Chain A
């Protein structure tokens, strides 16, 4: 039986759109009895260190596109996914590449770089997925990746400074530094003055975050405009069934507008700017969720759980195997 390992605990986590998309895909392509979803949150299960991972009896496949390719090739379809040919299949792959290379950065911005979302939503989630002390390391890794990705498209990280990644709001930004020079020696003259100074600082911080969020929305619109053009006006982009690129798109949109997020700017913007697509998204999401409810979601077994003992075992395993057995590539 197939086992899909994803991020999550009792349900699939909104921090990983590809986990969600893979689950949606399997739930649409296969019968519920053919596979199970395991919310192991253990990246060591994957040969390339990323979730989702699909474990078959013989093979381990990771990443959304590979899972789709593998399952389509080896398992007969339940005829709920569009079978594409010619131009449509190329276009479908193009949209997936576009989402993974562009829209993905917006999801990362919403989950990690927006300080309100990161501090109050994303980071605390890891405490539910990983035991002590591993829950500290993993969000930092994702934060760093998100920071690098966002900066590559020109989305500067607000409040980037010492300890910013753990939610510390410093004033290391250039403008703040300039202002700080002027009022460096500012000493609160009274209780009232101190309160005002603090208020002004908070206002500035909110302004900086808003400015970045506006830039983020501009990019979001740019990317969505390109995608909407391909999706067209019908319920499904290619024929009368959902395609794999739409599943990935809806998974990303769901993560960006997840109900628990404190800052819902992108979700609200999506709803107001693209009302038709939002309507389609709600309808399709309800269908996909209904299919997903029929599937068993399990917790990881002791072997697969991301415990400290398993981590030590994994690292020791890598250290003490010979290079030839490790499949190392010599450069």
Chain B
């Protein structure tokens, strides 16, 4: 007879633990044919990209068709600038609207995973919650470079005056784009640009809050305009709870200020460009930054956002410059 004490495990419990695990299942594969197809449907290869062992994938918020050329441009200006700059640096053209999924079926099941491409992603794909990101795959190794790393890489290629021009575009002109997104765009357009969603159902509208909350923290907007960034949080609460705490500052005035600063900067950039093609003979980093922003302001600007009309009507050099850069990549 065994002596029972608090140290011995009761027989029924011991029996259970001796029996389990009944069977060990093999691990669930992280990708299935369905998920591969889904990823391929969101991936568009750069035109002219050659299959190689090193592949770069640019992750962007959303894509839209450029005029009716069948070519796809990133909807967000910073992603677009990066896309254009990628094309310039690697000698490729922007992708067509035929995704890798369609390529695969058309060419009798041959997958083309080794081509550099643009992929539509959610901001959750990045550790910093901001796009664009650059995913580099080399011999099975995968490196994800976040937006801040991309920015540092871009900055390292700039020298002298270009540093200052790039800074002016990146802060002052970019802030006007943020004003357009936060204060003028409809939820439908916000969803198209930042969530790649075309149906603005009640359910998909919820994600607008999420993507905008991460957007105000991108590229230092919340540091330059803490009042406006905090206001967005306040407005989210207002929509959810229905109560408004009055802002301590004059919102309209601050919004008008940001737009005015951008207008002044754009006027000077327009004057500087004048008859010149661009900042360099072939489109460089500063050209891509400016073109990305000017293109987006014109493409997505609303009727009541005055800056869009001003750019179209009064800054012909900027419009011509923008077309020059984009056409060089299409």
Contact = CB atoms under 8 A, between A and B. Distances in A.
Contacts, number: 103
B163 A65 contact: no
SS of B interface (majority): helix
Contact of B220 (A89, A152, A319): A152
A326 B165 CA distance: 36
Interface in B228-277: 231-232, 235, 244, 246-255, 257, 261, 264-265, 268-269, 271-272
Interface residues of B, number: 40
A101 B171 contact: yes
Nearest to A69: B264
B261 A65 contact: yes
Contact of A97 (B171, B253, B257): B171
Interface string A306-319: 00000000010011
B167 A98 contact: yes
B227 interface: yes
B150 interface: no
SS of A interface (majority): helix
B223 interface: yes
B330 interface: no
B168 A327 contact: no
Nearest to B251: A329
A230 B265 contact: no
Given A101-B220, A327-B253, A93 B244 contact: no
A94 B161 CA distance: 8
B272 A87 contact: yes
B160 A66 contact: no
A319 B183 CA distance: 23
A148 B163 CA distance: 24
Contact of B254 (A48, A89, A101, A229): A48
A95 B164 contact: yes
B252 A331 contact: no
A326 B252 CA distance: 9
A48 B250 contact: yes
B182 interface: yes
B126 to A, nearest CB: 16
A91 B165 CA distance: 7
Interface in A154-171: none
Interface residues of A, number: 38
Contacts of A87: 161, 272
A56 B164 CA distance: 32
Contacts of B232: 331
Interface in A46-99: 46-49, 63, 65-66, 69, 86-87, 89-91, 93-95, 97-98
B75 interface: no
B168 A93 contact: yes
B224 interface: yes
Contacts of B253: 47-48, 327
B226 interface: yes
Given A66-B261, A91-B164, A323-B246, 8 more contacts: A48-B227, A90-B168, A93-B268, A98-B167, A101-B167, A328-B247, A329-B255, A331-B232
24 contacts: A47-B250, A48-B249, A49-B227, A49-B249, A63-B257, A86-B272, A87-B272, A90-B168, A90-B271, A91-B161, A93-B264, A94-B163, A97-B168, A97-B171, A97-B172, A101-B167, A149-B223, A152-B220, A226-B163, A315-B248, A321-B246, A323-B244, A326-B247, A328-B244
Q: Which 10 pairs of residues, A with B, have the shortest CB-CB distance? A: A94-B164, A47-B250, A327-B252, A94-B168, A331-B235, A98-B167, A49-B249, A90-B268, A97-B168, A318-B246
Interface of B: 159-161, 163-165, 167-168, 171-172, 182-183, 220, 222-224, 226-227, 231-232, 235, 244, 246-255, 257, 261, 264-265, 268-269, 271-272
